[in-house]
Amino acid sequence: MIIAIDGPAAAGKGTLARRVAEALGYAYLDTGSLYRATAKKVLDQQIDPDDEQGCTVVALNLTPTDLKVAGLRSEEVGQAASKVSAIPGVRSALLRFQRDFAANPPDGKTGAVLDGRDIGTVVCPDADIKFFVTASTEVRAERRFKELREAGEDVIYARVLEEMRERDERDTNRAVAPLKPAEDATVIDTSGLDADQVFEQAREIVAAKQA
């Protein structure tokens, strides 16, 4: 079984995806980490995130080890990831990695849970179950602000909110694989829900599908 979980930044899709994968014993892939790892290497190599050819070369040479380096969750890397993810060559390079993971889950797992921006619409359009997890921009900015402060970063809420809006604008309006719910996705608004309530909603839907 393949479960696709999409949504904007800080909506809670990663938390939900990890819990669903753990509960079912499925393999889990945070596809955003592929773009963050690409962005991190781009920044480290002092390549402009808008340099399509340079970024594509980095994506083509990405290795599993690159997904484990420190600093992938920084706001600078997140902003760069949003830019490189709009590059067709980068998306094409990473698409094969994602589809192979879904079709052949590692470690003998019988299913896979992937979260990202276009899993249900582009990467795995035939996924057995699709979720689109969202929340208001203000709620998501507050979550990201707290996350960054707890990580020791000196950030201002107003700036985080502004960058969240800029990123949403890029992700939603990019020409390739824009952020949007799949037509057959279940939309979960987490604005007023805690992680347990979100998981319970998803668990009921998965259980009904398995029945």
In a domain, 15, yes or no: yes
In a domain, 134, yes or no: yes
| C-alpha to C-alpha distance for 161 and 172, rounded to whole angstroms | 16
CATH number at residue 173: 3.40.50.300
Cα torsion 29, 51, 61, 35 to 10°: value is -10
Q: Once rounded to an integer, what is the mean pLDDT over residues 1-11?
A: 95
Domain total in the chain: 1
In a domain, 159, yes or no: yes
In a domain, 112, yes or no: yes
DSSP for residue 86: T
In a domain, 206, yes or no: no
- By the 8 A CB rule, do 81 and 36 touch? yes
Give me the percent of the chain exceeding a pLDDT of 90. 82
Strand partners of residue 28: 113
- By the 8 A CB rule, do 47 and 55 touch? yes
Q: What is the mean pLDDT of the chain?
A: 94
The residue type found at 33 is S
Residue span of the structural domain in which 160 resides: 2-192
pTM: 0.86
Residue (of 112, 177, 168) closest to 140 by Cα position: 168
| C-alpha to C-alpha distance for 114 and 159, rounded to whole angstroms | 29
21-40 pLDDT, tens digit each: 999 999 999 998 999 999 99
Would you place residue 63 in the very low, low, confident or very high pLDDT band (cuts 50, 70, 90)?
confident
In a domain, 203, yes or no: no
85-96 pLDDT, tens digit each: 889 999 999 998
pLDDT of residue 165: 94
